A and B are shown apart, each in its own frame.
Chain A
């Protein structure tokens, strides 16, 4: 069959890995979001399973705690009929001192086609991707990147507001330690949104918008949340980790709540249709007020649901194979 160009777009199959969104083109992001739409339809069926990845083995290796990302990837893998193995590092040879590379090589030798990995060290999935043939998905590495979270945020925004381009998105809180913020900055700016980050100066990366900023795209920086949220289409609150106060990065939790909590009063300054996002897990009453977290503008639960569809899309597109260029009727 001849390829009819208008039905076909560049595929992710040229990729061996999904590590961050910095190397994604706008077209690739569009492809993931479109495919996720089809996956959402699958998840709405009575039988929420299709045989697309039948016979593939997906191993998730989490060196760091996670509930939603891990369960989400597992559900996504199962809905595509892949075989899933969850490696708990505390119950594996990792505790006997096996190195990261030896562990993933072993997994590959056992037949893993794809490795989904979370690690507390930024860059760990990049190292793994260099040493295995299996395809690698970064499910969060240190403060660096969390591409599947950013993609599900993009999907949720587009689903609810119909577009991403031209929207004003405010990311609030601990940007410095947030891989979610970094991947979202890449994804949102590639899709044409205006990104503003807002938080206390101690929790913002110093080198944002400078040439030393690791090439992160340009974002607005605002220390005052009332000003930052003015006219926003999307307000994304980030989890504040309690140990940041002990590290001396915050004078007091109470002050943080007063200045940076996303509450109803502040949300009222955003556009009337503005969405509230949070990657979870939430500290209700700290970075987000409970009535906002569960209010009419909150799409936090939708984010979780969409996460499965978006991860199915990533797995499906990435598994797309070695490619002989043959199509069928």
Chain B
């Protein structure tokens, strides 16, 4: 298995700072802004974005956590299931501008599931999408509003986002799968 680092810790930090500024600029401030991180790695990213915004706007938008397991379209095809974690949306999202946050945008199916899950909690005024890495290969008509880095990939590669909160360090790596392994 070969591995190539796509983003270093510093690059991850800069990308997040830029995205945070873009979000505030596009939404004309932080009014009605709610961050929702898709578990697992979208959640720490959402929390970091909210903290960065707090640094320069002195307002910390609320952050929620979304587990999309129940909304996936591939339950029957999954060999191994991740443990379902709790969804926690701390505010009423009706009428708010939700920014969904995930680590990697790939087929778009997770985002489709996340939007379905979110709408069960209320009708936000808008849903925007922020991702650290867009690796292409969409299978649904979904695009991101804020992208840390666009990375052309092939289907036998994986993009691994490692974060301090879950993996001890910040790093994005492109991993080439070995033959015959999924």
Residues of A bordering B, CB below 8 Å: 1-3, 7-9, 11, 13, 31, 34-35, 37-39, 41-42, 45-47, 49-53, 80, 316-317, 319-329
Contact = CB atoms under 8 A, between A and B. Distances in A.
A42 B117 CA distance: 11
Interface size class of B (residues with CB under 8 A): 35 or more
Interface of B: 40, 67, 69-72, 74-88, 104-107, 109-110, 116-117, 120-121, 135, 158, 160, 175, 177, 182
A326 B73 CA distance: 12
A328 B71 contact: no
A13 to B, nearest CB: 7
Contacts of A327: 78-80
A329 B104 contact: yes
B104 to A, nearest CB: 6
A38 B177 contact: no
B87 to A, nearest CB: 6
A37 B79 contact: no
Contacts of A49: 120
Contact of B116 (A51, A317, A320): A51
> Which 7 pairs from chain A and chain B are nearest by CB?
A329-B106, A325-B79, A50-B70, A321-B76, A323-B79, A52-B70, A38-B84
Contacts of A2: 158, 160, 175, 177
Contacts of B135: 329
B109 A320 contact: no
B76 A38 contact: no
Contact of B77 (A37, A45, A47, A324): A324
B11 to A, nearest CB: 21
B42 to A, nearest CB: 11
A203 to B, nearest CB: 40
Nearest to B120: A47
Nearest to A41: B86
A51 B113 CA distance: 10
